[in-house]
Structure 1
Amino acid sequence: MLLEKLLKEFGVDISLFTTSELMLFDTYFEEIHVKKNTYLIKEGEVEPYSYFIYQGMFRCWTLDHRGVEQTFWFCKEGTFSMSNISFSLQEKTNFSVQAVTDSIVYRISKEQVELLYNDIPKLEVIFGQLTAMLLNRLLQRNIDLIKYSPEEYYVKLLEEYGTTLNYIPLKDIASYLGITPQALSRIRKRIF
């Protein structure tokens, strides 16, 4: 069940919902299989769907002032894609979301979201709380980039993502850490 996986990722009590509500939630989403390197959204587009990542991983990136790709976020299983920002605001996105692995996602349109909120009203409040938690994670990332060395931050990534990190290209992890792939290789040699 999709909602159960989402609530588990954010540590929200599943008992807030009945079994029938959990099952009803799933009926509003369409399953999509996404191949590695496929985009959910490209910079400059407006997102027509909200995507729940059931299986796989996506990276959020933009070009820096030199025209070099900079990864700033990874969307992992059990979370919604960062393209939700464009979806929610119905504004053009200023970054791209691309599959790192073959993935299974579930998507929902704006119209379906409204119907879902009508059928399960408490979802709107819960999703507001989940959005706040996600914003806190983004803020924490910025703080961590200041507070920790790249090596310390890489160790934190290993703890958070576990073996899933093995599926992300080293160049993207290095970009996420704000270092070169060569510097990441040196860090990995010291750690392993």
Structure 2
Amino acid sequence: MSEQLFTHINKFSAISPEDFNRISSFFEFEKISKKQVLIEAGSFCNQNFFVLKGCLHLYFTNEKGVERTVQFAIDNWWMTDNLAYLGQTKTGFTIQAVEDTQLLSISFEKQEQLLKEFPQLERYFRIMYQIAYGSSLMKMKYLYDFSKEEIYFHFTEHFPEFAQRVPQYLIASFLGLTPEYVSEIRAKKRS
């Protein structure tokens, strides 16, 4: 399983197999069941997760009790509340498995130790943060620029790997739509 992380790291920063043997010792392998919570809102965020197989989502619950999905992570994606993780503070988000998931987790302390021992991984993690930030900016652009219907169809056409794996109610939550509205526009497209 850790071969997957080795390959992913080497897309952005070169490391040897010998170095990776040591690097992999900083991570814990976990199997998570569908709907299992990894981090609960209000708790300290001390873990960063690399998804090997499966799907996670990060969400918050608004004042009306409605869950709003902010991010998904599927195979070869990272997930944490970056601000709470880096600041070692409590998170306002919950991270939960959407499907049975296999992942590697690393604590903040171990990640800091890892980066001291392997400074070339600073580049890798910097690029991961830049990609995550860029994705957040694009999502904001779509929310402001597109109609609700355009947002949904853009998402399903450009990210089919999510559209096929993630339940419609979570896609609706992620896009700021109601599940009923998503059903309505899907029915309209079929007719």
The two structures, once aligned, show a CA RMSD in angstroms of 2.2
Contact 2:41 2:60 in 1 (8 A): yes
Q: CA deviation at 1:171?
A: 1.4
Match of 1:151?
A: 149
- In structure 2, relative to structure 1, the CA distance for the partners of 1:126 and 1:139 (3 Å cut) is same
TM-score, structure 1 as length reference: 0.85
- In structure 2, relative to structure 1, the CA distance for the partners of 1:165 and 1:21 (3 Å cut) is farther
Equivalent positions of 1:59-78 (< 5 A) are 59-78=57-76
Aligned length: 188
- In structure 2, relative to structure 1, the CA distance for the partners of 1:160 and 1:56 (3 Å cut) is farther
Match of 1:40?
A: 38
Counterparts of 1:163 and 1:114, CA distance in 2: 32
TM-score, structure 2 as length reference: 0.86
Contact 2:9 2:124 in 1 (8 A): no
Q: Which amino acid aligns with 2:153?
A: V
Q: SS of the counterpart of 2:90?
A: coil
For residues 49-94 of structure 1, what are the alpha-carbon distances to aligned partners after superposition, in whole Å with 9 as ceiling and x for unaligned? 2211111111111122322112222122211113343222101111
For residues 118-173 of structure 1, what are the alpha-carbon distances to aligned partners after superposition, in whole Å with 9 as ceiling and x for unaligned? 33211113312321221111111111111122232223322443244333222111
Match of 1:180?
A: 178
Q: CA deviation at 1:23?
A: 4.2
Contact 2:12 2:127 in 1 (8 A): no
Contact 1:32 1:104 in 2 (8 A): yes
Q: SS of the counterpart of 2:35?
A: coil
Contact 2:12 2:123 in 1 (8 A): no
Match of 1:132?
A: 130
Counterparts of 1:154 and 1:62, CA distance in 2: 20
Match of 1:98?
A: 96
Percent of paired sites with the same residue: 27
Counterparts of 1:156 and 1:168, CA distance in 2: 15
- In structure 2, relative to structure 1, the CA distance for the partners of 1:85 and 1:53 (3 Å cut) is farther
Instruction: Compare 134-143 and 146-155 and name the one that shifted more.
Output: 146-155
For residues 165-191 of structure 1, what are the alpha-carbon distances to aligned partners after superposition, in whole Å with 9 as ceiling and x for unaligned? 333222111121212212101222244
Unaligned 5+ residue runs, structure 1? none
Q: CA deviation at 1:5?
A: 5.0
Unaligned 5+ residue runs, structure 2? none
Contact 1:56 1:76 in 2 (8 A): yes
- In structure 2, relative to structure 1, the CA distance for the partners of 1:73 and 1:102 (3 Å cut) is same
Contact 1:6 1:79 in 2 (8 A): no
Counterparts of 1:52 and 1:84, CA distance in 2: 13
